[in-house]
A and B are shown apart, each in its own frame.
Chain A
């Protein structure tokens, strides 16, 4: 185990403050894509769902963790594809207006 609960708690607390600083001024044209990108990033829970599925030894654990993996990976892939597409539309000629 690399982290441990207390170390993760430190990192979590520091990252709360970092998150406030990362987003300062955002042009209105990027509100939608940035929000979608954040949604994708929030699906980082995938990184614990995957090993949980391997470690589970109960039926309930298996169902829950596999559902978690499916939902989280759908969030990552769907979110990133959507924000990439919206940005391409913005940059390309004749794309959709947002």
Chain B
């Protein structure tokens, strides 16, 4: 390859790669495009590595290829080796890999890898370079500590695990960014810095959902519940709820007494209509004891002009829940308490209940964690696939409806 072609190809590849990384991360944060985002991220790597190969074409590739073969082997093993759920520790540990690698290269740079990539190091930049290399080593060590602690520490596998992974990724990104600066590699500096702050933002978002500081989640310390004996309760807002509903193909609405109190039946029916207009399958699960009197939900939903053919009684509803993407529980508590099935000590044991936990994701719209009429704790609220949406049912559902409309307009 001529040197002129190389001079042009390298920055073009670098820029293309940076764009792929930015778009990839952005798309991975949205339900509809998450898979496309992961693909773009992979492409970003391919383009960045092609750029590296072009730039380092004169160097002996033997060592590099040996390391790559080993690493790809380990990566495939870690990626495919076990079920996602049974190998929780790997997620945060893998997120630390980039930082550990950056620290190792920074150490190698101290040991005299001078020929490449620094070229003619300027004396003026020497101090800055040394500081950046030092920071890369420190951040890499921090990433390793965070990754291992989050993956295998006391709180491993809990609902806060993504926060630990994101923090490890953030420290890894910082280490990579500092190494990129020290060695004058623009793509490593850019992508590393991008992940450093994006990872921190994500950890903060997860922390907010759990009502705790990100570091407390990783360590399994800090606020445990809401003073009601609950732990690991996740909460999110109407917008995030709408983001998940938007991609659901089957949704089961589960109204309870709280819907009646908030007079939220019209808002609920509106959300159902919007989801239907997007092609989703929507039914209502009606528990025989939901509300004040038997038939209470039927009367309210009839008032909101819901077709009685869309209502499912207890057992039929449980069948519908088995293959539902989302169960949207509105102001219900005792009628969706899994203790009815799981806990022989519980006052509600043996009662009919709607097994909403069968759905892939559960949202519970509720004003607080206060117990229902049966005065028992509801373990559903602590489950990994449950998200609380705190607030007045009518207001929350109206906000969800508004968000769905906005998203539909944006998609149109």
Contacts and interface: CB of A to CB of B under 8 A. Distances in A.
B104 interface: yes
Given A23-B25, A79-B95, A64 B107 contact: yes
Contact of B67 (A48, A73, A77, A83): A73
Interface string A14-53: 1111111011111111111111111111111111111111
B79 A85 contact: yes
B201 A19 contact: yes
Contacts of B185: 3, 8, 47-48
Which residue, of B34, B128, B234, has the highest number of chain A Cβ atoms within 10 A?
B34
Nearest to B99: A42
A52 B108 CA distance: 8
- Could you say which interface size class chain B belongs to? 35 or more
A30 B218 CA distance: 18
Interface size class of A (residues with CB under 8 A): 35 or more
B234 A28 contact: yes
Given A49-B101, A50-B64, A26 B205 contact: yes
Contacts of B177: 12, 15-16
Given A23-B205, A32-B161, A65-B113, A77 B129 contact: no
Residue among A16, A18, A42, A62 with most chain B CB within 10 A: A42
A74 B104 contact: no
A12 B59 contact: no
A90 B184 contact: no
B41 interface: yes
Contacts of A51: 52, 55-56, 59, 64, 116-117
Interface string B156-179: 000001110110111011011111
Given A39-B94, A39-B172, A20 B111 contact: no
A41 B174 CA distance: 12
Given A56-B108, A66-B67, A78-B78, A44 B72 contact: no
B115 A45 contact: no
Contact of B66 (A2, A44, A61, A66): A66
B84 interface: yes
Interface of A: 1-9, 11-20, 22-58, 60-62, 64-91, 93-94, 96-98
* 5 residue pairs, one from A and one from B, having the closest CB atoms: A75-B97, A39-B95, A77-B75, A81-B79, A54-B59
